[in-house]
Amino acid sequence: MIRVLGYLVFRTIKNRLHRQAIKLKNPRYALALILGFAYLWFLLVQPNLATNRGASLSYEWLAMLGALALAGMVAWGWVFGRDKAVLIYTPAEVHYLFPAPITRRQLVGYKLVRSQLVILLNVALWVVLFGTGTRGLPWYARAAALWTLFSTVHLHRIGASFVRTSLARHGWAGAKRRVVSLTIIVLTLTAVAWGMLDALPDIHRAFQTGLSAVFQTMGDVLYRPVPTVVLIPFRLVIDPVAAATVREWALAMAPAIAILLLHLIWVVRSDAAFEEASAEASLERARTIEAIQRGAMPVADRSRPASAPIFRLAPTGWAGGAIIWKNIVAVGRARRLWRIVLTTLLFAAVFMAVVGHKRESWAGLVSGLLAGWAGVLLVFGPLWVRNDLRSDLEYADLLRAYPVGGATVVSAEAASSALVLTAAQIGLLLLALAASLGATVSGIDDAAKLAFFAGALVVLPAVNLLGMLIQNGIALLFPAWVTLGPRRPSGVEALGQTMLATPPFLLALAVALTPPVAVGYAAALYLSPTLGLVAYGAGTVLFLLGVGLEAFLLSEWLGGAYDRLDPSATELAGSR
């Protein structure tokens, strides 16, 4: 049985690569491949990033911070992870494999082997990007350590998704069955929070000094008894990656492998939950068939009714408005998003209530973190927010049949994501502003903060729109090479792909922004002696006009590509 599943994996990969290689006959894909190789070669000949930048930071502290980040990611997955199992089988797999004489464990194993493709790719990317650093560990040892780390994290996400699926299906009954694991999570989070609460003043003081002082202080804090104990399992997984010598690495690998194996056993043995899910799905299917045979419509609606859309769609008007409306409704109905927003607000409210009496001293830290997160979204947001063509190209047949021009489709799809991303950034900045109003933070008074916020209101939509047009353009020009659909490889194990994709994207964005910024800035400088502050307003208007012109030209060009798009190329990308 393993051989036949192996055959399926091997042939699928081979044929997929073959189909994608055929695309190279198209000059656009060939050029992209050459540029891609040139980019990788540039990365390879560069002294690796860890050599240049990692030397000044202590590896020990980095390992501890890495353990903290890993703990945060795991906690995030438990609290905000998807309610559906991470192991999703394609319709073909369900059709052929589920009724076949294959055990559930073999099915889980098959999926795990398939997921190794992404993990191995990202291990290779990490080794290429960061090399072995200054610590002299051979590349294969570093690769093995990274593979262990990524595989463990991936298995943990699958195991957690099984538990979450079970909870979602069985409610309180499921919760009682999972009481042990839930109690461990709650106790762990409480212990870490408790252990770090009294260290917050030290961290705050470090913020006044600089970033390396912050890292140093956080590293020190993590060595306090409670965080140290809580982070031990995470350290055990991280330590092989941070090892300095082969001996250290070998010693660290043993417990890391043990944790990996424990996770493997956990996931494989979780097939009880898997069986339940399948049984329930079969039961639902049987009910449906029975209802149809009775001539009645099946009662499929057991979930909550859909929430009302944020705004009502007028029956006439710009067709792109309908696309924007559709995409925003979809975002609004993603319950996971609202869970994140509400929980963040709850945490912020609790935190502010706890430190309210020392508000002045905490304003800088809180507002800095919120504004920093808005900045992170500026860089990575266009990769993460995908309610645009990257999702809708799966419906290419349907979209193409609509009487809507390519430029309208492209601009509306890009605008949808840009609006969502901008709303998130503005929300974070608004919170940052509210947290720091009345307090002078690092010499920045309220007037300056308000001016910065007003500037962000104008600049962010423009930058986001260009960023989204670039991302949508990549999906449109290379549909056979881009992962389409609302989901993309995620988690720490897919971080390498994000790191690889980010610099070229930022470069393209910088190139696109340079002319409007240059024109706006030059105009402001030229006019400021005569117009004073008004000159900066004029410069901003010119900047926005420049971005608008670029967005128009990009939409027209990409709209032409959309009109010429072969939907079969998107079918290839969609068949994951």
Nearer residue to other proteins within complex by CB, 275 or 563: 563
Q: Is 301 in the site for other proteins (CB under 8 A)?
A: yes
Other C-beta atoms lying within 10 Å of the C-beta of residue 501: 14
DSSP line for 158-184:
HHHHHHHHHHHHHHHHHHHHTHHHHHH
Output the six-digit token pair for 442. 């690092």
Contact 122, 497 (CB under 8 A): yes
DSSP line for 44-59:
HHSPPHHHHHSTTS-H
Q: Is 356 in the site for other proteins (CB under 8 A)?
A: no
DSSP line for 448-493:
HHHHHHHHHHHHHHHHHHHHHHHHHHHHHH-TTTS--SS----SGG
Question: Can you give 93-162 as a three-state secondary structure string?
Answer: HHHHHCCCCCCHHHHHHHHHHHHHHHHHHHHHHHHHHHCCHHHCCCHHHHHHHHHHHHHHHHHHHHHHHH
Nearer residue to other proteins within complex by CB, 398 or 525: 398
Nearer residue to other proteins within complex by CB, 248 or 571: 571
Min CB(64)–other proteins separation in Å: 41
Distance CA 45, CA 355 (A): 49
Among residues 118, 120, 97, the alpha carbon closest in space to that of 108 is found at: 97
Min CB(77)–other proteins separation in Å: 22
The size of the interface with other proteins (CB under 8 A), counted in residues, is: 40
Q: Is 99 in the site for other proteins (CB under 8 A)?
A: no
Binders of other proteins in range 402-431 (CB under 8 A) = 402-405
Min CB(287)–other proteins separation in Å: 11
Binders of other proteins in range 36-75 (CB under 8 A) = none
Q: Is 225 in the site for other proteins (CB under 8 A)?
A: no
Contacts of 19 (CB under 8 A, 6+ apart): 480, 572
Min CB(339)–other proteins separation in Å: 16
Binders of other proteins in range 544-573 (CB under 8 A) = 563-564, 566-567
Nearer residue to other proteins within complex by CB, 89 or 521: 89
Q: Is 232 in the site for other proteins (CB under 8 A)?
A: no
Min CB(568)–other proteins separation in Å: 8
Q: Is 574 in the site for other proteins (CB under 8 A)?
A: no
Q: Which of 300, 310, 349, 522 binds other proteins (CB under 8 A)?
A: 300
Q: Is 360 in the site for other proteins (CB under 8 A)?
A: no
Q: Is 91 in the site for other proteins (CB under 8 A)?
A: no
Nearer residue to other proteins within complex by CB, 102 or 330: 330
Residue 296, classed as helix, strand or coil, is coil
Contacts of 343 (CB under 8 A, 6+ apart): 79, 80
Q: Which residues on neighbouring strands pair with residue 444, listed in sequence order?
A: 441
Distance CA 178, CA 475 (A): 41
Min CB(119)–other proteins separation in Å: 28
Q: Is 4 in the site for other proteins (CB under 8 A)?
A: no
Q: Which of 16, 93, 134, 321 binds other proteins (CB under 8 A)?
A: 321
Q: Is 317 in the site for other proteins (CB under 8 A)?
A: yes
Return the residue matching tokens 């003081």: 205
Q: Is 303 in the site for other proteins (CB under 8 A)?
A: yes
Distance CA 490, CA 400 (A): 29
Q: Which of 24, 319, 519, 544 binds other proteins (CB under 8 A)?
A: 319
Min CB(18)–other proteins separation in Å: 21
Min CB(384)–other proteins separation in Å: 18
Nearer residue to other proteins within complex by CB, 303 or 530: 303
Q: Which of 75, 322, 430, 501 binds other proteins (CB under 8 A)?
A: 322
Q: Per-residue x/- mask for other proteins, residues 278 to 297, rule CB under 8 A?
A: ----------x---x--x-x
Segment near other proteins (CB under 8 A), from 2-10, 222-230, 325-333, 422-430?
A: 325-333
Kindly give the interhelix angle for 359-384 and 406-436, rounded to the nearest 10 degrees: 170
Q: What's the one-letter identity of residue 305?
A: P
Contacts of 273 (CB under 8 A, 6+ apart): 162, 163, 165, 166
Among residues 459, 458, 433, the alpha carbon closest in space to that of 447 is found at: 433
Q: Which of 73, 182, 330, 531 binds other proteins (CB under 8 A)?
A: 330
Q: Is 400 in the site for other proteins (CB under 8 A)?
A: yes
Other C-beta atoms lying within 10 Å of the C-beta of residue 544: 16
Q: What's the one-letter identity of residue 224?
A: R
Binding site for other proteins (CB under 8 A): 288, 292, 295, 297-298, 300-301, 303, 305-306, 309, 313-317, 319, 321-323, 325-326, 329-330, 333-334, 395-398, 400-405, 563-564, 566-567
